[in-house]
């Protein structure tokens, strides 16, 4: 069957009432957490994993993907109206968007962000549908050593290629690795790093770690800043509709943002932030109104928002076709697949096409829902921004612990939650990125398996890792991604890289 | 994130907190070496066994510890923002209370205390007001998630009144 037929079949599956309901719940929750400062899609999916344990896998995954997309939409509302980006990938939106809101043009800013997100989401999801089968074919010839090389590349880009310090990125990654070896070795059944504690034999739960680092670590950090006074929410004045000039200036920026964001998300290159920065730079150079940049140029909202959503869709390419998560949210979604005994990758397209294509098709539907949720109903979301911080964070911690208790109501699990929360807090104080820990924990064991398989095939000959052309090229790229930023930083050119920091999603 | 340079008026001094991080990383590496050394013989015919990767990771941690010492001595760590201790203690206390009281008192009371402690950490210190609200909210959450969604949240005296 062709991609087109698969996609049609997927739409039939996605249009089932239950799946529509899951998608609606997902996008609504996603928008809400995107709007709320301090919690992102990674945390939300982590919180929901235990709750959805008993639900049907297809529906839950549709919901998770809806949260991911919704989070990208909702983040823009916060950056435009509050100047506090809800997501790291919305930082750029705040640059121009908040200026527009202060100038009384918050409506058009929200509109161009939402419509741009829609256009980008639609194009990028279709691109995902048409590219995925090719990547799957490519991936079928991948052996253990090629997979291992690919994961090494992902480790480097997620941890150290961007951000402000190679040392701290790598340290985060290795802390993730160290946590990953706790438990029973999957190939020999030996217990490692469990010190005779039965609770540790199953290893560290990805959800516990993610919830602790993102929810508890973040709450502690925000609380420790003390009372900074209330944040100023800009009211949406005037019409939310864009005038003719807004449209004329926006549509090219949307398309350019999509073209920039999707490939960056699809490559194992870390978070959505990179695409938004590149898109902003592009728009700034191409605009006919350079004097408006810095004072609320609509292109500076339209382009990055499109790039942001396009790279969210792009991230699903390596996740679905290779089982390779390149962001924290994707890593937790991978844990979601594993919770149902599914392993994303080329085989999933063969063994479970209904699930994969239903998921991709439901993203198209989710996009339409999000457009409706975010344009006419934007006033509702703005109200969320007025929740006082004490209640907001008390609620966040209530739900954060609810998920962990629901998965495993043991004092030991809550103790780990507290310990990792403190670890996340300390890491945040010292500027260590969090995403590499999560990616290291979930991808580390997979990389170890592939490496040991490759070496078992070669009977321990390490050179085999470099004799496959594909693996060799991937490892060379990984080495370059590690070394080039080190040289750039040593020469004092690190500011660009630290602006491209991939932190949460 | 502000780029880390020590203020120019001061001489760059070794960063004690960063040195402590280096010690932690080295200790973690040492712990992995110590724990997995007993598995070292299980390499099999390929020479790659359950201890191989942990050894690589532990070596990596020791290298990172050395690198951290180097950066700490040069004062390359970013300047930290001032942290207020009070709110942090409130929240940690709330989490600890929840952990210890979850089994004896049930989900609602334990989590209600966490709720109130977190609110206190963020400046709402009226505990006589926030604790009852927290417990009421948590009871509602318990009824939805444990009652309707079959999540196994521990029940205590309060929950038994309703279910």
Span A476-500, pLDDT tens digits: 988 888 888 888 777 765 555 555 5
What ipTM does this complex have? 0.88
Does residue B134 belong to the interface with chain A, where contact is any CB pair within 8 Å? yes
Domain extent, residue B27, equals: 16-74
User: Region A270-296: what's the mean pLDDT?
Assistant: 77
Confidence of residue A2 (pLDDT cuts 50, 70, 90): confident
Does residue A472 belong to the interface with chain B, where contact is any CB pair within 8 Å? no
pLDDT for position B5? 42
Residues 6+ positions from B136 with CB-CB distance below 8 Å: B112
Q: How many residues does chain B have?
A: 163
User: Region A420-433: what's the mean pLDDT?
Assistant: 90
Residue pair A78/A123 in contact by the 8 Å Cβ criterion:
no
Among A222, A398, A425, beta carbon nearest to B138: A398
| End residue of a domain, out of B49, B74, B99 | B74
| Separation between Cα atoms, residue A27 and residue A363, nearest integer Å | 10
pLDDT for position B59? 94
Whether residue A505 lies inside any domain: the answer is no
Does residue A183 belong to the interface with chain B, where contact is any CB pair within 8 Å? no
Scanning every residue of chain B, which has its alpha carbon at the shortest distance from the alpha carbon of A181? B54
Radius of gyration of chain B (CA): 24
More confident residue, B123 or A425: A425
Whether the per-residue pLDDT at A358 is higher than 60: the answer is: yes
Whether residue B23 lies inside any domain: the answer is yes
Whether residue B80 lies inside any domain: the answer is no
Report the predicted TM-score, pTM, of the whole model to 2 decimal places. 0.86
Whether residue B131 lies inside any domain: the answer is yes
Q: Which H helix or E strand runs over A183? A: strand A183-184
Q: Are residues B67 and B124 in the same domain?
A: no
Q: Are residues B144 and B121 in the same domain?
A: yes
Of the candidates A467, A368, A470, which has an alpha carbon nearest to the alpha carbon of residue A20? A368
- Give how many domains chain A has, as a whole number: 1
| Separation between Cα atoms, residue A105 and residue A97, nearest integer Å | 9
Residue pair A159/A173 in contact by the 8 Å Cβ criterion:
yes
Q: Are residues B155 and B92 in the same domain?
A: yes
Integer angstrom CA distances of residue A173 from A278, A504, B66, B75, B77: 25, 14, 16, 22, 18
| Separation between Cα atoms, residue B113 and residue A451, nearest integer Å | 47
pLDDT for position B6? 39
Among B28, B84, B141, beta carbon nearest to A226: B84
Whether the per-residue pLDDT at A93 is higher than 90: the answer is: no
Residue pair A61/A330 in contact by the 8 Å Cβ criterion:
no
Whether residue B124 and residue A390 make contact (CB cut-off 8 A), yes or no, is yes
* % of chain B exceeding 70 in pLDDT: 86
Residue pair A183/B26 in contact by the 8 Å Cβ criterion:
no
| Separation between Cα atoms, residue A378 and residue A35, nearest integer Å | 10
Please identify which residue in the block is written with the tokens 């390490």: A462
- Give how many domains chain B has, as a whole number: 2
Whether residue B98 and residue A395 make contact (CB cut-off 8 A), yes or no, is no
pLDDT for position A236? 66
pLDDT for position A95? 76
| Separation between Cα atoms, residue A491 and residue B112, nearest integer Å | 52
The overall average pLDDT reported for chain A is 82
Whether residue A252 lies inside any domain: the answer is yes
Whether residue A198 lies inside any domain: the answer is yes
**A285, two tokens:** 């150079």
Beta bridge partners of B32: none
| End residue of a domain, out of B74, B99, B124 | B74
Does residue A459 belong to the interface with chain B, where contact is any CB pair within 8 Å? yes
Q: Are residues B89 and B22 in the same domain?
A: no
Q: Are residues B89 and B158 in the same domain?
A: yes
**B115, two tokens:** 């709720």
User: Region A54-62: what's the mean pLDDT?
Assistant: 82
Integer angstrom CA distances of residue B47 from A44, A192, A317, A462: 42, 18, 35, 11
Domain extent, residue A397, equals: 3-499
Whether residue B9 lies inside any domain: the answer is no
Q: How many residues does chain A have?
A: 505
* % of chain A exceeding 70 in pLDDT: 91
pLDDT for position B114? 92
Residue pair A162/A270 in contact by the 8 Å Cβ criterion:
yes
pLDDT for position B93? 93
Chain A window 4-33: which residues touch B at a Cβ cutoff of 8 Å?
A: none
Q: How far apart are the first and last CA of chain B?
A: 49
| Separation between Cα atoms, residue B61 and residue A175, nearest integer Å | 8
Whether the per-residue pLDDT at A39 is higher than 80: the answer is: no
DSSP H helical ranges for B9-84 = 16-36, 52-74
| Separation between Cα atoms, residue A329 and residue A26, nearest integer Å | 14
Q: Are residues B20 and B57 in the same domain?
A: yes
Whether residue A282 lies inside any domain: the answer is yes
Q: Are residues B53 and B119 in the same domain?
A: no
């Amino acid at each position: 069957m062709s991609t087109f037929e698969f996609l049609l079949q997927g739409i039939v599956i996605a249009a089932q009432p239950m799946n529509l309901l899951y998608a609606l719940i997902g996008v609504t929750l996603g928008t809400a957490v995107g709007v709320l400062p301090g919690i992102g899609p990674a945390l939300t999916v982590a919180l929901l994993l235990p709750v959805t344990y008993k639900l049907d896998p297809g529906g839950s995954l549709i919901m998770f993907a809806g949260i991911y997309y919704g989070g990208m939409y909702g983040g823009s509302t916060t950056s435009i109206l509050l100047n506090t980006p809800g997501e790291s990938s919305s930082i750029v939106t705040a640059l121009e968007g908040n200026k527009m809101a202060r100038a009384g043009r918050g409506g058009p800013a929200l509109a161009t962000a939402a419509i741009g997100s829609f256009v980008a989401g639609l194009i990028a999801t279709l691109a995902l549908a048409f590219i995925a089968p090719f990547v799957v074919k490519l991936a079928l010839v991948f052996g253990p050593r090629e997979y291992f090389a690919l994961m090494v590349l992902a480790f480097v880009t997620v941890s150290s290629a961007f951000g402000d310090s190679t040392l701290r990125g790598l340290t985060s990654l290795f802390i993730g690795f160290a946590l990953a070896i706790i438990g029973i070795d999957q190939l020999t059944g030996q217990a490692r790093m469990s010190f005779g504690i039965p609770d540790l034999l199953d290893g560290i739960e990805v959800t516990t770690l993610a919830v602790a680092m993102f929810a508890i670590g973040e709450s502690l950090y925000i609380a420790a800043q003390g009372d900074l006074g209330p944040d100023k929410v800009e009211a949406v004045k005037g019409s939310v509709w864009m005038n003719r000039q807004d449209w004329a200036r926006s549509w090219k920026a949307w398309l350019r943002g999509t073209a920039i964001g999707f490939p960056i998300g699809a490559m194992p290159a870390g978070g959505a932030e990179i695409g938004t920065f590149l898109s902003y730079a592009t728009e700034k150079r191409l605009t006919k109104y350079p004097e408006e940049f810095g004072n609320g140029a609509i292109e500076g909202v339209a382009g990055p928002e499109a790039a942001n959503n396009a790279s969210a869709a792009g991230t699903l390419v390596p996740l679905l076709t290779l089982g390779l998560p390149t962001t924290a949210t994707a890593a937790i979604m991978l844990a979601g697949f594993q919770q149902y005994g599914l392993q994303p990758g080329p085989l999933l397209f063969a063994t479970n096409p209904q699930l994969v294509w239903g998921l991709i098709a439901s993203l198209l539907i989710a996009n339409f829902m999000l457009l409706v949720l975010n344009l006419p109903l934007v006033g509702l979301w703005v109200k969320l921004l007025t929740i006082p911080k004490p209640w907001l964070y008390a609620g966040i911690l209530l739900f954060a612990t609810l998920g962990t208790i629901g998965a495993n109501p043991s004092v030991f699990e809550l103790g780990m939650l507290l310990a990792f929360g403190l670890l996340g807090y300390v890491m945040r104080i010292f500027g260590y990125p969090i995403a590499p820990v999560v990616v290291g924990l979930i991808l580390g064991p997979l990389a170890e398996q592939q490496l040991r398989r490759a070496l078992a095939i070669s009977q321990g000959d390490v050179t085999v890792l470099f004799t496959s052309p594909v693996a060799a090229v991937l490892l060379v790229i990984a080495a370059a991604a590690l070394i080039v930023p080190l040289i750039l930083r040593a020469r004092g050119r690190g500011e660009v890289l630290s602006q491209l920091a991939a932190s949460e999603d | 994130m502000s780029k880390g340079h020590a203020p120019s008026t001061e001489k760059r001094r070794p960063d004690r907190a960063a040195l402590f991080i280096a010690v932690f990383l080295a200790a973690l590496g040492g712990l992995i070496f110590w724990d997995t050394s007993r598995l070292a013989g299980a390499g099999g015919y390929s020479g790659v066994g359950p201890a191989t990767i942990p050894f690589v990771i532990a070596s990596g941690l020791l290298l990172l510890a050395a690198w951290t010492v180097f950066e700490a001595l040069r004062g390359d760590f970013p300047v930290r923002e001032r942290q207020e201790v009070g709110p942090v203690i409130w929240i940690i206390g709330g989490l600890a209370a929840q952990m210890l009281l979850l089994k004896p008192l049930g989900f609602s009371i334990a989590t209600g205390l966490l709720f109130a402690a977190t609110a206190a950490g963020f400046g709402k210190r009226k505990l006589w007001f926030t604790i009852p609200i927290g417990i009421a909210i948590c009871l509602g959450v318990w009824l939805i998630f444990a009652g309707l969604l079959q999540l196994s949240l521990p029940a205590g005296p309060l929950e038994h009144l309703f279910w």
